[in-house]
Structure formats: C-alpha cells, structure tokens
C-alpha cells in the first residue's frame, strides 16, 4: 500500500509514545518490534484505529523517574505502523517506518496505561525530504572505519549490500542497529543533518575501537 506524501500539518499534535532504551528509530529507518506488555498492546490497538502513528523515545537514566515513569529524552521520532501481525499467544509483531523527529512540549494524561506527549515538529521539517544521494566523505574513507569496527564487534555483514547502499541510508540503518550506548544513540538521533550523523557515527565507531584497545592494552593478534 502506498501513501500520499506527508506534510507537517498532517501529523497529530498529541501522540502515544513508546519509551524503550536502546531502540532507536530515525527518519526513513525501519524498526521491527515485538509487543507483549498489555499497555503497549493497547497502544498499538489505538494507533491502528487512529492514524497508525506513534513516537519512539529513549529513556534517560541520568534523570530521576517522574510521575509517569522513566525519565525520557526530549527528542524522539514519529513512526508509522507499516507492518502488523498478531501471534497465537497474543503478541503484536510490528514494523515502524520513521517519519520525522519531534520535540516534547509537555506530557499529557496517560491513556490505557501508556504515555502520550504533545509535541512540536517545527525544528525537523527537513526530515520529510528524501535522504541525500551525495556522500559527505569519500566512500573509501567511510569504509575504512566500517571494516575494522565490524571486525572489532564480531559482526557479520553483507559487504555487497553495503557497497550498493547510499551513505545516508546506510548510516540511518547502522545507527539503529549498532550496539551504541543509549546516550550515543540519542546523540545520533539529534544530529541536525544526515551529514552530521555520518561524521558522528564514524567518530563513535572509532571511539569504541580505541577505548577497547586502551582498556585491554591492545587487541589480540
């Protein structure tokens, strides 16, 4: 099924949110989720009946819990439910497709146990534009960081697919998939533009490798 291009005015001012540490959704990215808690099953049911959108947000462990639960960062990403199935044991298997980021204005009253936020999309209108096709750094320089990072993490990757994927889409996917810390993933989410996210992701990969080397006195041969 195809959808007409979205405009900021099409998006709801108050949205249900799913706070989940380490689960990053970015504009143009796709995030599969296994939903089993009753309050989030209710949230998905309500979202399916009303626009099929919800916000993904990360918990902020540096702040104390609030009235409604875990403290969360102020910026999240709105996603559209683009895939949905129900299992025999009552779970929902869904895929969220990232639309655009938002900034929380205030928390609204909870509904059926899940949290809702009134949000502002204005700082992020450019998220609705297609990802840029141009590269922000030379391809070989980009791959020269990816290769040792994947080896360092013991990650099996399809290099043929990576070679064919444009930089901005690759960075979007890897930012969501790589085992970065929650605060690092939040920084990737808040990067102003895709080119900024590319440079930040590569810096995080280099830090992960160098930090591990420093702690262990070097990598084994």
Q: What percent of the chain has pLDDT over 90?
A: 74
Selection from 123, 129, 117, 127 nearest residue 13 by Cα: 117
Give the domain-ending residue among 65, 100, 128: 128
What's the residue count for the chain?
221
19 lies in the same domain as 87: yes
108 lies in the same domain as 15: yes
Instruction: With respect to residue 23, please indicate whether it lies within any of the assigned structural domains.
Output: yes
Q: How far apart are CA 68 and CA 87, in angstroms?
A: 29
pLDDT, tens only, 51-60:
999 999 998 8
Number of domains in the chain: 2
Instruction: With respect to residue 133, please indicate whether it lies within any of the assigned structural domains.
Output: no
110 lies in the same domain as 210: no
Q: Which domain holds residue 178?
A: 139-216
Instruction: With respect to residue 106, please indicate whether it lies within any of the assigned structural domains.
Output: yes
124 lies in the same domain as 203: no
pLDDT, tens only, 68-111:
778 899 999 999 999 999 999 999 999 999 999 999 999 999 99
CA-atom Rg of the chain in angstroms: 18
User: What residues contact residue 160 under an 8 Å CB cut-off, 6+ apart?
Assistant: none
122 lies in the same domain as 90: yes
Give the domain-ending residue among 128, 157, 179: 128
Q: Has residue 177 got a pLDDT over 50? A: yes
25 lies in the same domain as 85: yes
- Banded model confidence at residue 61, pLDDT cuts 50, 70, 90: confident
59 lies in the same domain as 161: no
- Banded model confidence at residue 5, pLDDT cuts 50, 70, 90: low
pLDDT, tens only, 190-211:
999 999 999 999 999 999 988 7
107 lies in the same domain as 155: no
User: What residues contact residue 171 under an 8 Å CB cut-off, 6+ apart?
Assistant: 194, 197, 198, 201
87 lies in the same domain as 34: yes
- What local confidence, expressed as pLDDT, does residue 2 receive? 46
| DSSP 8-state assignment for residue 155 | -
Greatest distance between any 2 Cα atoms in the chain: 56
Q: How far apart are CA 42 and CA 110, in angstroms?
A: 12
Average pLDDT of the residues in 109-121: 96
12 lies in the same domain as 117: yes
Q: Which SS3 state, helix, strand or coil, does residue 171 take?
A: helix
182 lies in the same domain as 212: yes
What CATH number should be reported for the domain holding residue 49? 2.30.130.40
37 lies in the same domain as 83: yes
């Amino acid at each position: 099924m195809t959808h007409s291009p979205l405009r900021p005015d099409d998006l709801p001012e108050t949205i249900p949110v799913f706070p989940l540490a380490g689960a990053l959704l970015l504009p143009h990215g796709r995030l599969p989720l296994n939903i089993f808690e009753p309050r989030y099953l209710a949230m998905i049911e309500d979202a399916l009946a009303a626009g099929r959108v919800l916000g993904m947000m990360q918990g902020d462990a540096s702040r104390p819990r609030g009235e409604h639960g875990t403290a969360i960062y102020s910026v999240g990403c709105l996603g559209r439910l683009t895939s949905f199935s129900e299992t025999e044991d009552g779970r929902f298997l869904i895929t969220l497709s990232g639309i655009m980021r938002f900034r929380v204005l205030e928390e609204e009253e909870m509904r059926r146990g899940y949290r809702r936020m009134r949000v502002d999309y204005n700082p992020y209108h450019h998220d609705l534009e297609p990802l840029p096709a141009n590269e922000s750094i030379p391809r070989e320089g980009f791959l020269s960081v990816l290769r040792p990072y994947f080896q360092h993490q013991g990650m099996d990757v399809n290099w043929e697919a990576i070679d064919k994927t444009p930089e901005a889409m690759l960075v979007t996917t890897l930012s969501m998939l790589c085992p970065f810390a929650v605060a690092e993933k939040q920084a990737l989410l808040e990067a102003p533009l895709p080119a900024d996210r590319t440079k930040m992701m590569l810096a995080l990969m280099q830090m992960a490798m160098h930090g591990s080397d420093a702690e262990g006195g070097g990598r084994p041969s």
